[in-house]
Amino acid sequence: MNVAKRLAATALLAASLIMAGCGQGQIGSVDVEKIMAEAPRVKTLMTEAETKIKEAQEKYQQDYGDKELTEEEAAKAQMEFQRKLEGINQAYATQIKSRMDVVIEEISREKNIDVVVNNSEDEKLIFHGAIDVTDEVIKKMQ
């Protein structure tokens, strides 16, 4: 999403909150990149994923490393290996996102926050007025 669209979406969101709650709506923000880099649970899941990927690579090497394969067999084996890697990545990405969503929802309820947006350092959407819950998310993702 380009900057103009993001700013327009944020302005629309803020305006709808003000209109709906007569100025009582609260906006939260999180830095997902920081959470991914610092949350202990994310680090654990990333390590598990790396281990699974390494095991898959070793198995692939064991199964096909010394074999003479036709071009078709090699392509099929490579595609199966890529699918396995994608499956591992998808499974762990889903776990991380699900856990993060649950934690953000809990914090939102505790703080009466109506909306939480990703507000990473590289792509700021909100410069002032949002409640930053990034550190709380990191703490709860043990």
Mean pLDDT computed over 36-47: 95
Mean pLDDT computed over 38-45: 95
Cα(76)–Cα(70) distance, integer angstroms: 10
**12 pLDDT above the threshold of 60:** no
Q: How confident is the model at residue 99 (pLDDT cuts 50, 70, 90)?
A: very high
Q: What is the CA radius of gyration of the chain?
A: 21
pLDDT in tens, 102-112: 999 999 999 99
Cα(24)–Cα(29) distance, integer angstroms: 17
pLDDT of the residue at 10? 52
pLDDT of the residue at 125? 81
